[in-house]
Amino acid sequence: MGWGRPLLALLIAGLLLPLVPLLAWAVSGQWRYPGLVPQRLSGRGVRILTDPRSHVLSGVFTSTLISVSVAALACAIGLPAGRAIGVYRFRGRRLVQFLLLAPVIVPGLAVTLGIQVFFIHYGLAASTLGVVLVQLLPTVPYAATVLGAAFANLDLDYERQARALGSGPVRTLVFVTIPLLRPALILAGLFCFLISWNEYVLTLLVGAGQVQTLPLLLFAAIGSSDTTAAAALGVLVVLPPLLLIGLAGRLLAGRSGAAIGLGRL
Amino acid sequence: MRASAASVELAGISKRFGDTVAVADLSLRLPAGSFTALLGPSGCGKSTTLAMLAGLLAPEAGDIALGGASLLGVAAERRPVSLVFQKPLLFPHLSVAQNVGFGLRMRGLTRRDIAPRVQAMLERVQLVGLGARRVGELSGGQEQRVALARALVLAPRLLLLDEPFSQLDPELRAEMRALVRALHDEATTTTLFVTHDRAEAVEVADDIVLMLDGRLAGHGRPELFYCAPPTLEAARFFGVTNEIVGSVCSGCFRDRSGLAVRCNLADGPAVLVVRPEALRISGTESPDSLPGRVTAARFAGTHLALEVATASGALGVHVPVDSPVQIGGHLHVRVPAEASTAFMTKQPS
């Protein structure tokens, strides 16, 4: 007792403090050694973000489209997969569980190099769809694991009860099972969104530089040694996940999802 | 328009789980509008039977008919059957009223059609004004009332109750039993009530179906199981403690000490069962009595519970409180033919 609050404050400070210089860089016009704060402030960073030539706005759109699609698809795949590993006891269940997790254990780069040939063959390379598909690789394992745990805790008698009340299998899924799994779905969706949002290597390989997501733009800006542009982009990349985590915490607070801990942040 | 109650017919249904036989060749007929208790110890197959009636399990053999039409191949959601589980299983993301209206919504009724029916149903289960509550705010009894309302609002032709009150405390249970009985009597439904509690079965139902080890062990009015149990197992399940071993010879049961009781059973070894409260004591000998010595007498409120040692073993006898008996005293225990039942036993090897 008594240590909880200072520790939490320390933790939050540790997470948020690195953002302070980032913010400072983003609005600085001139910041030379040994100044503690920028000598001159400037709106250049913000202007770069909104300039059509920088492709940042289209990058935001591409990133959002890809990450939302990946989160939705990963949850759609993770739902039946999670049910299989969470509910059914079958021969080879451990193996299936391992295979589901394999893409996380095996470096994504190795897997992607292996399957990129097929992406090119099927015309999926350098397309947004291709990037979405390849990003399912690192996300589906998380969705399946989170939903598998949720299914293991789910009382399937709810589904039997719904059937006995005249609800068919599809309606039972929509009106009973999915609402019961809501906290886990929010969490799985959030994880997948975050993984996808920050994905760089897979996007670069399969997107072949044609699919410009925010991480790709960010790396380009860093490479160009324009610190203000890189910092402004960095802030833009960091903000949506922070907002989403806050929103998810709010959605989960006071529900069974609070047990997951996220609701208390 | 309300559906009418339907008769239920089970014809030789069987169900196995792996090597375990859950239900074996069960045949049963429940008249339309009847209230039947399906009684048996846990694991006797009664819940499996219920799940097959609800369509949640498919029997391996046999046929299930409702109102004369087979239910086999009809999906659970299409059967005019409602099932209430042991747990309330209220959907936590819905309000009380939304829970009650769930089945109607699944039938595609509009909000405007659902609301008055839900309201009327909440009145019948005495939950007026709780419609907007979240289900997490209800007490155990209220939860089961909502579950009942949710099942009954569909006006099922067959209502199945799977030990619905076993998680409630005894007082509340009696209250809920009375409610279920009242709801059955005012609705037009056939009710099958699963329980492992024989007192509950006797109190609530018109008829009792006794299941033991997946088999039908008796079906009849509650009195039958007390006065003329259909099988030895049924007699034992209903608390017959006195079993006298002997044999039947031309319509008369005899034990080794000369007791003779009329019965209509084929000749052969047999066991005579009789409830403690049906035995009478007397000072004089008669052909249908056994001589014995009182070894214990315990005051049990409404009667004296005696233990009498006889040549055929110890018998429990319940006598009026003012009976003149003493421990160690000798008396004759009369076994009335009309209150005792003989069953054939296998030839001792």
Q: Do A165 and B85 touch (CB under 8 A)?
A: no
pLDDT at B284: 87
Res B347: pLDDT: 54
Name the pLDDT band for A255 (thresholds 50, 70, 90): low
Note whether A157 contacts B76, CB cutoff 8 Å. no
3-state SS string for chain A: CCCHHHHHHHHHHHHHCCHHHHHHHHHEEECCCCCCCCCEECCHHHHHHHCHHHCHHHHHHHHHHHHHHHHHHHHHHHHHHHHHHHHCCCCCHHHHHHHHHHHHHCCHHHHHHHHHHHHHHCCCCCCHHHHHHHHHHHHHHHHHHHHHHHHHHCCCHHHHHHHHCCCCHHHHHHHHHHHHCHHHHHHHHHHHHHHHHHCCHHHHHHHCCCCCCHHHHHHHHHHCCCHHHHHHHHHHHHHHHHHHHHHHHHHHCCCHHHHHCHHHC
Average pLDDT, integer, range A208-215: 87
Residues of A in contact with B146 (CB under 8 A): none
Size of interface A-B (CB pairs under 8 A): 62
Nearest CB to B56 within list A155, A164, A168: A164
The length of chain B, given as a count of residues? 349
CB contact under 8 A, B76 and A175: no
Neighbours of A72 (CB within 10 A): 14
- Is the CB of A157 less than 8 angstroms away from the CB of B75? no
Residue of B nearest to A178 (CA): B93
Whole-structure pTM value: 0.80
Percent of chain B with pLDDT over 70: 98
Q: Which residue, among A154, A161, A182, would best test binding to B if mutated, counting the most B CBs under 10 Å from its CB?
A: A161
Does position B26 have pLDDT exceeding 80, yes or no? yes
Q: Does B82 touch chain A (CB under 8 A)?
A: yes
With an 8 Å Cβ cutoff, is B108 touching chain A? Answer: no
Do A167 and B154 count as a contact with CB atoms less than 8 A apart? no
* Pairing mode, strands B330-334 and B289-299: antiparallel
CA-based nearest distance A251→chain B, Å? 13
Chain B residues with CB inside 8 Å of A165's CB?
Answer: 77, 82, 102-103, 106, 150-151, 154
Q: Quick one: pLDDT at residue A254? A: 53
Query: In chain B, which residue's Cα lies nearest the Cα of A177?
Result: B91
Answer whether A140's CB lies under 8 Å from A195's CB. no
Mean pLDDT, residues B117-141: 90
pLDDT at B1: 36
> Which pLDDT does position A163 carry in this prediction?
92
Q: Reply yes or no on whether the pLDDT at B206 is more than 70.
A: yes
CB contact under 8 A, B92 and A180: yes
Asked if pLDDT for residue B222 goes beyond 60, the answer is: yes
A165 with B103: Cβ contact below 8 A? yes
Complex ipTM tops 0.85: no
Q: What is the mean pLDDT of residues A112-116?
A: 84
- Per-residue confidence band for B192, with pLDDT thresholds at 50, 70 and 90: very high
Strand partners, B297: B306
Hey, of B89, B95, B99, B121, which one would you mutate to test binding to chain A, going by the most A CBs within 10 A of its CB? B89
Q: What is d(CA B54, CA A160) in angstroms, rounded to the nearest whole number?
A: 10
pLDDT at position B66: 92
Give chain A's contact residues with B (Cβ, < 8 Å). 155, 157-158, 160-168, 171, 175-176, 179-180, 182
Q: Is the pLDDT of residue A261 over 70?
A: no
Kindly determine whether residue B106 and residue A166, on different chains, have CB atoms separated by under 8 Å: yes
CB contact under 8 A, A165 and B75: no
Our CA-based measurement puts residue B103 at a distance from the nearest CA of chain A, in whole angstroms, of: 5
pLDDT band at A35 (very low <50, low <70, confident <90, very high): confident
- Per the prediction, chain B carries an average pLDDT of 89
Kindly list the residues from chain A whose CB atom is less than 8 angstroms away from the CB atom of residue B109.
Answer: none
Residue carrying the six token digits 């690195």: A18
Cβ contacts (< 8 Å) between B76 and chain A: which residues? 160, 163-164
A171 closest CB neighbour out of B51, B92, B106: B106
pLDDT given at position B349: 44
Q: What is the pLDDT of residues A85-104, one digit of tens each?
A: 888 888 888 888 888 888 77
Distance (Å) of CA B65 to CA A4, B29, B52, B71, B140 = 64, 9, 11, 5, 34
